[in-house]
Amino acid sequence: MAKTYDYLFKLLLIGDSGVGKTCVLFRFSEDAFNTTFISTIGIDFKIRTIDLDGKKIKLQIWDTAGQERFRTITTAYYRGAMGIMLVYDITNEKSFENIKNWIRNIEENASSDVEKMLLGNKCELEEKRQVSKERGEQLAVEYGIKFIETSAKASIRVEEAFFTLARDIKAKMEKKLVSHVYNDCF
């Protein structure tokens, strides 16, 4: 059967446990079903199809749930990953501080040209906020990556985050393709 998509991007969600990565996994239905059976077994990955500038893109998204500590996330896990969504919880200071450790872990284990994005997730109430939006922005600038604050309940921002990451990967791939063609010609 003919390929029904233009690109396949493998993405990882990385961050401390309890930052709501699972609810970032496009889980924005108000009445999430959450049966005991599925939630006990856990979700390994999801396949999502998005349309980006006329191209059909398949996203294969892995959550790190269950192997949270940096030590256990090694080269094997990062293999083939083209994009990494670094997630912290804006109501959890520690999860924000650990982003630096996660970035170090990525630098040591993942491909150097993996596209990264910082995502401040808000699964709870604004009153519980411990990390200001400015600090998130500042950290992203420090590492030269994009930043977005989302709420898993506000579906649009979550979707926007994945679109942004996918668009950056696509642009990088096309740029690489063009430079290859250029090098082959001259």
Partner 1 sequence: MPDCSENYENEISEGHNVRSIKCKFCNSIILKPSVASFTTVQFQLPLMKQTGGTNHPETEELSLFWMVTDMLMFENVGFSNTVGNNKYLTCADCEAGPIGYYDLSSKKSYVALSRVKHC
Distances (CA, A) of 34 to 27, 40, 88, 89, 133: 10, 10, 22, 21, 30
> In the range 152-181, which residues lie near partner 1 by CB under 8 A?
none
Q: Which residue in 6, 17, 18, 26 binds partner 1 (CB under 8 A)?
A: 26
What does the alpha-carbon distance between residue 171 and residue 23 come to, in Å, rounded to a whole number?
A: 27
Q: Which residues contact 5 (CB under 8 A, 6 or more apart)?
A: 49, 56, 57, 58
Q: Which residues contact 154 (CB under 8 A, 6 or more apart)?
A: 28
- CA-nearest of 135, 151, 65 to 97 is 135
Map residue 158 onto helix, strand or coil.
helix
Q: Which stretch binds partner 1 (CB under 8 A): 42-50, 67-75, 81-89, 115-123?
A: 42-50
* CB closer to partner 1 out of 8 and 171: 8
| Contact status, residue 143 vs residue 100, Cβ threshold 8 Å | no
String of contacts with partner 1 for each residue 50-89, x by CB under 8 A:
--------x-x-----x-----------------------
Q: Which residue in 6, 18, 46, 135 binds partner 1 (CB under 8 A)?
A: 46
Q: How far is the CB of 171 from partner 1 (least distance, A)?
A: 22
String of contacts with partner 1 for each residue 109-148, x by CB under 8 A:
----------------------------------------
- Give the interface with partner 1 as residue ranges (CB under 8 A): 1, 4-5, 8, 25-29, 31-49, 58, 60, 66
